[in-house]
Amino acid sequence: NTEGPEPGEDKRLSAWFLAKENTGNLKDICAKIMDESNDASEYSGGAYFGFSMIRIPEMYYIMAEALLEEGDKEYARDYLDAVVSARGMVKFADRDTGKDITLEDIMNERRKELFGEGQWWFCLKRLNQDIYVHALDATLKGNDRIYTLPLPTEELDPR
């Protein structure tokens, strides 16, 4: 998402996405998890190497969320602002004075930071949040039915 309420240019867009020509058309590819030894200009669609288990920005989001839950909104904003300013955007503290950050602010930044890593579903599950399904053009309420995978019938058969 390149548009939105956050002033400043989000450095993630230019750093993590490359335009690659494919059969005469330009196609954006997410190159954020490519190892430095992979040459992005020679991208073949193969596997990526060098995938991190957790990074500092993710830990900052965890701290911001925990502090927000404890009621320490100012300190939570400091952690969120550390990531936001490192990504080239204006800190929340400098945007709208007097406005506290919300869980939604943290989740929006987390979603942008973790793009392409398969983490968003787990974030939604952890908070039991609603899920918007583009194919259905509908929002499904967060509940155990959507977030809990059924046991395979083979697991239920006594042996």
Q: Where are the domains of the chain?
A: 11-42, 118-149
Other CB atoms within 10 A of residue 84 CB: 27
**Confidence tier at 46 by pLDDT (50, 70, 90):** low
Going from the C-alpha of 128 to that of each of 27, 65, 91, 95, the distances in angstroms are 34, 15, 28, 29
Q: What is the pLDDT of residues 105-146, one digit of tens each?
A: 999 999 988 887 788 888 889 999 998 889 999 999 999 888
**Whole-angstrom Cα distance, residue 134 to residue 26?**
24
| Residue positions counted in the chain | 159
* DSSP 8-state symbol, 21: E
pTM assigned to the model? 0.66
Q: What is the pLDDT of residues 60-79, one digit of tens each?
A: 999 999 999 999 999 999 99
